[in-house]
Amino acid sequence: MTDTNSANKVLEDITILDFSRFAAGPYCTMLLADMGAQVIRVEQPGGGADREFGLLAPDGEAFSIKITARNKKGITLDILSDEGRQLLSELLKKTDVIVHNFTLESAEAKVLNYETLSKENPALIMAYITGFGSGGPYASKSAFDFSAKAMTGAMWLNAMPGGGPVKEPVPYADLGTGCLAAYGIMVALHHRLKTGKGQLVDASLLDTAASFVEAIGAVALYSVHGEVRHQLGNHGFATYMNILEAKDGYIVIMPYGNRIWRRLCRLLEREDMITDPRFVNDGERQKNSEIIDAIMVPWCKALTVDEVLNKLDSVRVPAEKVDTIADFVNNPQVRDRNLIEYLEYPGVGSFAAPAVLPKLSSTPGDIVRLAPKVGEHNQEIYNGLLQLSEADLSRLATKGII
């Protein structure tokens, strides 16, 4: 963390009201806050449910809040009350972007309806993040990351041969949707510069997971050949790859493409495999992965991880040690890239958080503020930004509006 005044605030003229919870929305707004946007996290009086969701820090609050609410300010507001909606209207006059992920039929989503709010502020941009999109038969369903992975076939791709579906623990549908929503907001802001008009950014976990599965050709393969490729285990989707055991650990090997395959064959002193019809291209190598395993498995088991990697690196065959989280934290490349930012919280101590990404050469982002406590910036926003009096603030707090 650096001093607030030293940060490059390339997005400092953008104000975002963040009503989102859990992963996708908070990650989206974290990315923008890291680049200087004034992101105001809006919670119901008493705090959001996501403060107690997932892995908990020693103070009883979720690590995810401390990570994704960094660089944000925090206020409380009951938007379902009449006075709360009036305050929302006042905030709307000073807001560029709203982000929320309330389910379609919820009372909160009806208050935060884009068509209604854009009449008050035609320049408003809203990122609406849902499980399955804002239309269609599943529009009103609740969802988390695994919902989208389950629907798109991704869990079957992870399955071991002959086994049932397997989950991928990293929530790429959630976090990927956060990235795409942030991208959509930036595109909408650019459009607004040219037209003066805002728009709705409609992002969903299903959209993201579908795009990722489609991007590797899984759906194209089915559409052209009727083939459903699944239960791959540790083997590759389009060519040979595998996680292999060495004497003292595991490596993942990725001999993608014919050039790299030829280099691997020469290293193994098996040049006959270069012209063998079973291995003539990526597709054939994928089909015959078990035959290649019969050669690769004993070769790796006879060597240490370092020995395997040194040999493969020497002929430029991509491979890497399969690290634990502890290995990752201590990896010299991770340290050189400064991929971990240590944050110091009262009552918690120091803990690891993601660094600010992407790394920009002229206007890098930074972490300048810890995640807010519940309603920490009520006075700053309501008294300062909206010019309410202390008496107003006290009355609103007493009534449970803020």
What are the residue numbers of the active site?
174
Q: What 3-state class would DSSP assign to 344?
A: strand
- Distances in Å between the Cα of 333 and the Cα atoms of 251, 290, 348, 353, 359 are 17, 33, 27, 17, 15
Contacts of residue 137, defined as CB under 8 A and 6 or more positions apart, other chains included, come to none
Q: Torsion-angle region of residue 387: left (phi > 0), alpha (psi -120 to 50) or beta?
A: left
Contacts of residue 225, defined as CB under 8 A and 6 or more positions apart, other chains included, come to none
Question: What is the residue whose two structure tokens read 């609406």?
Answer: 128
Among 75, 82, 130, 126, smallest CA distance to 104 is for 130
Determine whether 39 is exposed, middle or buried from the number of CB atoms within 10 Å of its CB (0-12, 13-18, 19+). Answer: buried
Q: What 3-state class would DSSP assign to 206?
A: helix
Contacts of residue 259, defined as CB under 8 A and 6 or more positions apart, other chains included, come to none
- Is-contact 318 254, C-beta < 8 A? yes
Q: Which amino acid is at 250?
A: Y
Residues found in the chain: 402
**What is d(CA 230, CA 208) in angstroms, rounded to the nearest whole number?**
20
